Amino acid sequence: MQVVGKTNERDVWVASKDRPFRLNELLVVEGHSPETAVGEVVETYSLNPLVPLVDEGSPYLMGHEIVSTLRDFGYELERDTVYLGKIRVISELFYPVKTGSQARVPDFAEVADLLVQARPEQAMALGVILGTDTLDPTLPEELRGLAPLFEDGKVVQQQGVPFLLDYRRMQDYPHIGIFGGSGSGKSFGIRVLIEEFMKKRLPVIVFDPHYEMSFSDPLLPDLPPGFRESFDTAFRILTVGQDVGVRFDLLNEGDLCNLLGAVSPLSEAMESTARAVLMKNDSLATFAERLDNLIELMENNEADYRQEFFSRGSGPDREREWKRLKVLQNQVGQPASLRAIRWRLHSLKREGIFNQAGIARIEEGLRNRQVVVVRGSIRMLRVYASYVLRHLYGKRREYRDAMQKGQSAEGFPPFLVVTDEAHNFAPKGDHTSPSLREFREIAQEGRKYGVFLVLASQRPALLDDTINAQLNTKIIFRTVRSMDLSVISEETDLGREEIRRLPYLPSGYSFISSPIVGRTVAVRIRAAKTRSPHQDNPFDELAAMADARLGEFRAVLDKYLPLNETYLNDVLQELENRGIRMTRSEMDSLLEQMVERGELIKDDTSFVTVYRPARQ
């Protein structure tokens, strides 16, 4: 292998007569002062002077016959094949690479600094660096077995150098973005990342609109012994409105306005109305009642309404409430604002967001250094995430600020926020989005308080620009849309060659661009240890369901065969006795299916149709 052509200090062509180059493999260029230069292969070519170029008007096409005659004389066309590789120099050089110098495959030790920046116990093993297979024989023991791969339905041994991301350096370079279209392996990437968080016992809150972040089921029933790992104590799943929610009695005016505004933006008049109507220690019921009363008061004759109001109850409390209503009546100009607040409140109530459990169990999980998965519909989560993040982030900030000032405060751990479909939580160009403010704030100053974002999205182009710019580490899977590609090319240091490869990356292959690593690395993400509950193919599920139904039916039918059509109702009766509800038309369809499959013979030669078993 030899450096050929005109060179500079960054891009170099290397030619070889006998060895094809491999994308992403590392090569050492010898004879360099002050040291050897290391480069990564970014483009590969093979060419043969005897096989014409496609655009050359075929000056010389050697026919098959000639080639085979030459072969009889011991000549193989391939002997004249030349391999070319374009190498991007990774080492920092200040002079051009010497043209004509020899290149070779390095030992691991020679390139260790460029590939591995952290010790395995301090870092997350996300996958295998592509093109490092040749370094496998010289890989030290401690770097082996960290990142097995998933291939052809099996988990296979790690071959090559593991990609280790030092999560501690998020202190300097916070926030991670994970981008990729559907089927690109993005979901697996998030899963692997969360598994690594769990291994390191980092407090993490995951917003899970897809109900897929469960870590109980192993990827395969027979995982290799060293690879299998149980995360049962490392995560908890909480559903909004069921396990967690918003405690109304703890809401302050600001929280309330945010929640109401999350349903639909509030005008200034509405906001001041909501602030005025909320009283300390209000429950959802008392607040809602006050709203109703106030609307009634403003829309009816005061004397009539007063009578009605006191007819429903009396006493000093009632008197006090009446006075309050009278004060509010003057403060609130229009009943329209009240109505606007009322429908927003009802909407939230219907979503089930108000729940006495509050966020206690989320806090508890984070304090226990668990991964807390919060599930809910995407609409609900957008509202809820904003509430939860404000509180959690607030607690963390208060604690850190108090520490700074030397005051004592209740401790609250640093934590990470993970979410898929991030463009829904922090959309570009939609300033009314309920959770945008919180995500932006964390993106911009979360680092100071040890709060970090991991945002995944299919559409980086739809993610808020400010946030996008703050995602220091980006893991990029296959991306096809040109808009997304252009965002990626602006927001990362991916080169022209890599951008060109992005639409064709196989599932699970990614480019990781991170200042923690210092350059863009092509990584094949490791096999996840666990699987999503949705991993079954829905069509398999459909077939299984149909088979199960048919099986139930077949078990009953067997006793009635051969079956005269007139007794079909008996079969239905028997099915019902066994607790299987079936309509006549479903039964007809099942019988037809069995005839089609050749299990039954339909005999309608006589007056009535008779179903007979095909085999006796």
Closest among 129, 139, 184 to 162, alpha carbons compared: 129
Closest contact distance (angstroms) between CB of 15 and another protein is 15
Nearer to another protein, 71 or 168 (CB): 71
Nearer to another protein, 72 or 92 (CB): 72
**CA geometry: angle at 584 spanning 579 and 585, to 5°?**
125
Closest contact distance (angstroms) between CB of 75 and another protein is 4
Q: What is the 3-state secondary structure (H, E, C) of 121-182?
A: HHCEEEEEECCCHHHHHHCCHHHCCCCCEEECCEEECCCCCEEEECHHHHHCCCCEEEECCC
Q: What is the spatial distance between Cα 11 and Cα 597, in angstroms, rounded to a whole number?
A: 64
| Whether the Cβ atoms of residue 146 and residue 114 lie closer than 8 Å to each other | no
Nearer to another protein, 19 or 168 (CB): 19
Give Cα separations from 58 to 52, 53, 55, 77 (angstroms): 5, 7, 8, 17
Closest contact distance (angstroms) between CB of 72 and another protein is 4
Closest contact distance (angstroms) between CB of 66 and another protein is 5
Chain-centroid distance, C-alpha 522: 19
| Whether the Cβ atoms of residue 125 and residue 163 lie closer than 8 Å to each other | yes
Closest contact distance (angstroms) between CB of 180 and another protein is 45
Closest contact distance (angstroms) between CB of 58 and another protein is 10
Closest contact distance (angstroms) between CB of 95 and another protein is 19
Closest among 134, 189, 142, 141 to 160, alpha carbons compared: 134
How many C-beta atoms lie closer than 10 Å to residue 584's C-beta? 11
State the DSSP H helix or E strand holding residue 189, giving kind and residue range, or none if neither: helix 186-199
Closest contact distance (angstroms) between CB of 74 and another protein is 3
Q: What is the spatial distance between Cα 66 and Cα 119, in angstroms, rounded to a whole number?
A: 58
Q: Is 407 exposed, middle or buried (0-12, 13-18, 19+ CB in 10 A)?
A: exposed
Query: At CB < 8 A and 24+ separation, what contacts does 427-432 make?
Result: 427/462, 427/463, 427/464, 428/461, 428/462, 428/463, 428/464, 428/465, 432/261, 432/265
Nearer to another protein, 62 or 156 (CB): 62
Nearer to another protein, 60 or 607 (CB): 60
Q: What is the spatial distance between Cα 586 and Cα 576, in angstroms, rounded to a whole number?
A: 14
Q: What is the spatial distance between Cα 58 and Cα 276, in angstroms, rounded to a whole number?
A: 84
Closest contact distance (angstroms) between CB of 16 and another protein is 17
Nearer to another protein, 73 or 607 (CB): 73
Cα dihedral 183, 188, 189, 191 sign: positive
Query: In the 8-state DSSP scheme, what is residue 508?
Result: T
Closest contact distance (angstroms) between CB of 96 and another protein is 16
Closest contact distance (angstroms) between CB of 47 and another protein is 13
3-state secondary structure at position 387: helix
Closest contact distance (angstroms) between CB of 103 and another protein is 21
Token representation of residue 284 = 């959802």
Q: What is the spatial distance between Cα 601 and Cα 611, in angstroms, rounded to a whole number?
A: 6
Nearer to another protein, 34 or 63 (CB): 63
Q: What is the spatial distance between Cα 182 and Cα 325, in angstroms, rounded to a whole number?
A: 54
**CA geometry: angle at 512 spanning 32 and 203, to 5°?**
130
Closest among 274, 256, 262, 255 to 390, alpha carbons compared: 255
Nearer to another protein, 18 or 319 (CB): 18
Closest contact distance (angstroms) between CB of 8 and another protein is 18
How many C-beta atoms lie closer than 10 Å to residue 552's C-beta? 16
Closest contact distance (angstroms) between CB of 51 and another protein is 12
**CA geometry: angle at 268 spanning 265 and 273, to 5°?**
100
Nearer to another protein, 50 or 580 (CB): 50
Nearer to another protein, 49 or 333 (CB): 49
Nearer to another protein, 68 or 573 (CB): 68
Q: Cβ contacts of residue 375 below 8 Å, gap of 6+?
A: 208, 209, 211, 213, 237, 238, 239, 240
Q: What is the spatial distance between Cα 304 and Cα 188, in angstroms, rounded to a whole number?
A: 65
Nearer to another protein, 73 or 94 (CB): 73
CA-based radius of gyration for the chain = 34
Nearer to another protein, 55 or 72 (CB): 72
Nearer to another protein, 99 or 122 (CB): 99
Residues at the site binding another protein, with contacts judged by CB under 8 A: 49-50, 60-63, 65-66, 68-70, 72-75, 79-80
Nearer to another protein, 72 or 410 (CB): 72
Closest contact distance (angstroms) between CB of 11 and another protein is 20
| 162 φ, ψ (degrees, to nearest 5) | -70, 150
Closest contact distance (angstroms) between CB of 48 and another protein is 11
Amino acid at 485: L
Nearer to another protein, 76 or 547 (CB): 76
